[in-house]
A = this chain, B = another copy of it.
């Protein structure tokens, strides 16, 4: 039985779902000859960790207790009394986490980042140096400045990450790249929210109505401008572009916001934006849709990476392409290369959700098992 030590950073929705998947896959993984040994879990405030990282593990009932405590909104600190682990808080956490990483060299250790923090890159780059593997649900460590990015990806076999939840986009791109098939165009709809918005406005509903409905259905962030600004898609585009060898930062990228600066969160209160701001945008979007339609095209909010561009925004795409036919909140990516020259390789499916994101992280952890002794 191969023993894979795992340390989890982040115990929000995805992290908790991952722990539950790990527990429920025990017999499946045993059949595959693998045991995932969870040695510790931390969030931004606290750390629980076994006394002996080299041999011990947090057992399944404890892992489920972690999930319970955290979904109740309590602190990991409340687990201190269970006696099965050590608990640290405050500034000690980072020091201890790095100590754990230092032990990783001898046993192999997968550092799994399921947080949404931009702050983990420092720890991750240190544990990469120690020889640990890194598995990311968190996209932010991959969108830092190039220098830190280069460190993080310095041992590419020891790094796994994703865009679009569990969709096999990164895994497939890595396959294409390693086979020497040059990717010359990568275009996709990587926001379920914006995918939904664009297909609804295509059907004739005014933009302002679609956004308000999406918000009331819970499809958007509490402030929909967090989706409409395009920054989340831009992060994904940057990750894909860097994977294809482009040396870019977020601030080099062309990012189209679906609202003008004067309606930004610093200028206009949310309620004002929803009621008075949005309707002012309806006509322009309607005109663009008509223009696209006259060209036989539809509008999609896409990330587009080719030899000349890495940008995020509304583009006209052919009505009968995979992108053009996209409905609802699915993500889709079209990859053009020498092997997929006229017709792209298309990967499509649910691109969000804790369950599918955590399943993707688990697949990534299993995928690095051959690196472990």
Contact = CB atoms under 8 A, between A and B. Distances in A.
A359 B339 contact: yes
A290 interface: no
B349 A343 contact: yes
B330 A343 contact: yes
A179 B340 contact: no
A156 B320 CA distance: 39
Contacts of A171: 168, 171-172, 175
Contact of A349 (B175, B345, B359, B362): B345
Contact of A176 (B25, B359, B369): B359
Contact of A359 (B180, B343, B370): B180
A168 B367 CA distance: 15
A363 interface: yes
A175 B363 contact: yes
A181 B359 contact: yes
A368 B21 CA distance: 25
A167 interface: yes
Contact of A343 (B320, B328, B363): B328
A179 B343 contact: no
Given A172-B171, A346-B348, A360 B179 contact: yes
A350 interface: yes
Nearest to A175: B363
A96 interface: no
A345 B348 contact: yes
A56 to B, nearest CB: 24
Interface of A: 21, 24-25, 28-29, 32, 156-157, 166-168, 171-172, 175-176, 178-181, 320, 322, 325, 328, 330, 338-340, 343-350, 353, 355-356, 359-360, 362-363, 366-371
